[in-house]
Chains A and B, each alone.
Chain A
């Protein structure tokens, strides 16, 4: 199978279009007849990560790369970053406001859901620079190479708010 690469923009606080990137990712994987289990796990993780950016982050990007070993989803944003990653990973902990809750999110289960449903997950954040997540999913019986993303360098080189 040759590589598939897709990328979608995420807009902060745009609750109307929130989720569209992950739904497109899901459609792409479905059209390639991947295993239902991997489609579902990728969809859950992509969706939770995208919703997190809309609720908490700045503007961002969600990226899908699919090759014959598996799927890599990266999500990055240019918001104010995550204050405390350990707290953010705790089930039930949230900094979400009322608007997020009215959308059905903000109960503090996004990151725990991602941890639960991905084969590999790593998160980077810097105050006033935003956050970067990489999530990897191995296709059955494939030995995956190290989980590497194509967007990390771009995110890492972004300036923090206020820097010239």
Chain B
């Protein structure tokens, strides 16, 4: 699913990554706790999280994730945005909560990224 479509489904603001809206995301992954995401890498995943910390970016970089959506209307600070830009990871922010965000994307066909292979 393209990031532009995700942005629309989630009525999200694009915080950074204007030129990345055409990228394909392979599946969804939702978590506030980073270690759970690091059990296995998640190449091409869309990370949905409420954790606005540098560690969300570090985890996404290490895990190979394609983009991040901050849920619950959360907006990252400048340091987080800079780090994401440096690693070319687009960031969105949606007013919906995590459950609703997952539900809406799933209903439109974005499957879960393979969790434990």
Contacts and interface: CB of A to CB of B under 8 A. Distances in A.
Q: Decide if A and B touch, CB cutoff 8 A.
A: yes
Interface of A: 15-16, 18-19, 22-23, 26, 40, 43-44, 47-48, 51, 101-110, 113, 116
Contacts of A19: 54-55, 58
A162 to B, nearest CB: 33
B46 to A, nearest CB: 17
Chain B: interface size category: 20 to 34
Contact of A109 (B35, B53, B55, B56): B35
A23 B59 CA distance: 10
Contacts, number: 63
B114 to A, nearest CB: 14
Contacts of B58: 19, 22-23, 47
B62 interface: yes
A16 B49 CA distance: 19
Contact of B62 (A43, A101, A105): A43
A104 B51 contact: yes
Majority secondary structure, A binding face: helix
B29 to A, nearest CB: 13
A108 B26 CA distance: 28
Contact of B35 (A15, A23, A105): A105
B53 A103 contact: yes
B23 interface: no
Contacts of B64: 40
B36 interface: yes
A105 B36 contact: no
B61 A23 contact: yes
Contact of A40 (B32, B53, B62): B62
Given A104-B32, A104-B51, A104-B53, A109 B59 contact: no
Contacts of A51: 55
B62 to A, nearest CB: 4
Contacts of B56: 104
A23 B36 CA distance: 18
B41 A44 contact: yes
B58 to A, nearest CB: 4
